[in-house]
Amino acid sequence: MSNAAADIPFIPALYASNREDAPIDMLVLHYTDGPSLEDCVAIFQDPERRVSCHYIVGLDGAVLQMVRDEDCAWHCGTSAWRGREGCNRWSLGIEIVNWGRLEKKDGSFYCWPEDYGTPYNGPSPVSAGGDWWAPYPSVQVDQVESLSGRLVERYRIPLDHIVRHSDIAPDRKIDPGPAFPWSAFKARMTEVIAGRW
């Protein structure tokens, strides 16, 4: 089966490849660095970008799949975890729509495009880790937990292989960032696994 659920719409990304018989035993969470699910779809259908991901979760909790589970999406880049390099082959990737880190200038907030020159007009920023961040709406977090739980259960993904992009590429990536409730998310995944494997 190639979907976490039959009701998840599928729009194919341009880029994916063969897993070469590597087992699916990792789940990687990202943020999109963008404003919307549609914006992320456009990136994954842009021949110049050469990136893709299995699932996208919108601000309103909408879920879309762009690469089949059995195929390798191009979401990790240069990465390593537990002695293995190139995490794309073993992982499923979830992109969470979020602007990520923000900069505050003269009382206003800006996001990263054009060197943090793009005005931010999303939900009220939150302060964490000495920076400002776009928040994750609760309906979105709930959907990320639900989708992740289904994937973790389906593929029997071990808890220490449920990771952030920043865990597998710490010199390059900061997503999903400190605004994402990582500890609560991992606690929920612990409940899903509950000693079953």
Nearest to 138 by CA among 181, 106, 176, 109: 181
What is the spatial distance between Cα 3 and Cα 31, in angstroms, rounded to a whole number? 21
What is the spatial distance between Cα 99 and Cα 27, in angstroms, rounded to a whole number? 21
Tell me whether residue 191 is one of the annotated catalytic residues: no
What is the spatial distance between Cα 132 and Cα 128, in angstroms, rounded to a whole number? 6
135 within 8 A of 179, measured Cβ to Cβ: yes
- State the catalytic residue, choosing from 20, 38, 48, 95: 95
Catalytic annotation, residues: 95
